[in-house]
Amino acid sequence: MKSRWLINLALLVVVVGVALALNYAPKPKEEHAVAVAVSTLDPSAISKISIEFPAKKPVALEKRDGRWFLTQPYAARAGQEPVDKILSILGATTVDKFDAADPARYGLDHPALKLKLGAEEFSFGTFNPVSGMQYVGYKNSVYLVSSNYSEAASIQVVEMIDKNLLAPDEQIAGFDFSRLEQWEDKGLRLEQADGLWRVTRSDAKPNQNDLKQWFADSWGTLIALSVEPYTPDRKAKYPSFEIKLKNGKTLHIDKQGESPELVLARPDEGILYRFPQDVGFVILNPPVGSPR
């Protein structure tokens, strides 16, 4: 009985000793993969973007006076958000960097697209079958990055167009709605000066707070659901209105449809803007306090 107790005690001593040895033994250094930046280019320094595809027309954008414009396949104001997504490759990092000596191995001998940012070119190749990430060639290296970067550069060109009816420097000073059906009997014009709205309609009883709220909630947040280029027909006649700008210019806007959605056209830009029907009613019917 005593011998069994001694054996158990000896085993306990051995177990404790092994545990202490493992606890205080030098631990192997853990190797952590270090992420590297794909590029050190500053997005704000880029003023030209070119996107080339094997079987599609190339896309080109250019920054002028701090704003981006499509120049190919047609001219239009570009939205800042899609441009920012295209430029996001400049902030990409990865833990997988390879030598570019064998471009065919990564599908870079015939890239799916080429993205030129300024003078620098990024080539997008095949996808890694395990991670689903994509190989990108840049200078003399190949990087494995998210497919989001090529998807941003591959969106339909029409999705790159700015969905704002007005450019940032086109600040509203007034409206002439007198050629719209609901206002043509006595006309309706609104002008803004010193923070107040003046309504040129004899039977109008405008409330300044209502007009300020209307403008802020409608025109102040106006973004189209979709846009598309079109060729203006100079012979066609549409209900129309004009927007007076603070710089003294006037924009002519054609109302080409109102149901099931409002379709506004800017002949000067050759762009159609589509809005929900209820939004269309609000922006073209200010609360002037007179019967319609």
Q: Mean pLDDT of successive 10-residue segments in the chain (292 residues)?
A: 51 48 47 84 97 95 97 97 97 96 96 97 97 96 98 97 96 96 90 91 88 96 96 94 97 96 97 96 89 47
Same domain, 138 and 179: no
Same domain, 90 and 183: no
Q: What pLDDT is stored for residue 29 in this prediction? A: 45
CB 57 within 8 A of CB 3: no
What domain count does the chain have?
Answer: 2
Same domain, 83 and 184: no
Q: What pLDDT is stored for residue 202 in this prediction? A: 78
Global confidence as pTM: 0.84
| 3-state secondary structure at position 225 | coil
Beta bridge mates, 135:
144
Amino acid at 20: L
Residue 96, judged by CB atoms within 10 A of its CB (0-12, 13-18, 19+), counts as middle
Beta bridge mates, 34:
none
| 3-state secondary structure at position 53 | coil
Cα-to-chain-centroid distance, residue 166: 16
Q: What pLDDT is stored for residue 40 in this prediction? A: 94
Q: By residue range, what is the domain housing residue 133?
A: 36-160
Question: Using a CB cutoff of 8 Å and minimum separation of 24, what contacts does 278-285 make?
Answer: 279/218, 279/222, 282/214, 282/217, 282/218, 283/218, 283/219, 283/222, 284/177, 284/180, 284/182, 284/241, 284/255, 285/182
Q: Do the domain assignments include residue 13?
A: no
Q: What pLDDT is stored for residue 201 in this prediction? A: 84
Amino acid at 287: P
Same domain, 153 and 184: no
Same domain, 203 and 266: yes
Handedness of CA 83, 85, 86, 91 (dihedral sign): positive
Same domain, 205 and 248: yes
Q: What pLDDT is stored for residue 25 in this prediction? A: 45
Q: Do the domain assignments include residue 14?
A: no
Same domain, 52 and 156: yes
Cα 155 from Cα 84, distance rounded (Å): 13
- Domain boundary residue among 160, 187, 210? 160
Q: What pLDDT is stored for residue 205 in this prediction? A: 85
Q: Do the domain assignments include residue 237?
A: yes
